Amino acid sequence: MTPDQFQASEMSFLYVTVPDMATARLLAGGAIGEKLAACANVLPQMTAIYEWDGEVEEESELIVILKTAKSIAPALAKWIEDNHPYEVPCILEVPLGRGNSGYVEWLQKQMGSRSRPM
């Protein structure tokens, strides 16, 4: 890969934890259908250990990684929060930085006009 094939991007990942595959599919499919994300990856089965209301909890969760334009990441985060079953869902934005040109161009094309700064 030459340097010109590895380009900067105005895209971000949203890292979201969910309780089950049904929720993962609902959020991923809905976000893509609403044109808030270009695509999603679901990583199955992890164990989350955290403190909630003074108690240490341990739960099985999945991870959904949504690829979106930085300019609409806040709208996607709001949509996820509105459609997520958790009282306080984990929604973290991770800037994409660089990627191979063909894939970055595809992501931006999937987002259409929404991938341009607002």
- CATH number for the domain including 83? 3.30.70.120
Q: How, if at all, do strands 91-95 and 11-18 pair?
A: antiparallel
Query: Pick from 62, 66, 81: which is nearest to 17 by CA?
Result: 62
Rounded Cα–Cα distance for residues 23 and 52 (Å): 21
| pLDDT tens, residue order, the chain (118 aa) | 566 677 788 889 999 999 999 999 999 999 999 999 999 999 999 999 999 999 999 999 999 999 999 999 999 999 999 999 999 999 999 998 888 888 888 888 888 756 544 3
Q: What residues contact residue 106 under an 8 Å CB cut-off, 6+ apart?
A: 38
Number of domains in the chain: 1
- Cβ pair 12, 68 in contact under 8 A: yes
Is 39 inside any structural domain?
A: yes
Domain membership of residue 6 (yes or no) is no
Instruction: Write out the residue range of the structural domain in which residue 85 sits.
Output: 11-115
Does 42 reside within a domain?
yes
pTM: 0.87
- Report whether 99 contacts 67 (CB < 8 A): no
Show the tokens assigned to 19.
């309780």
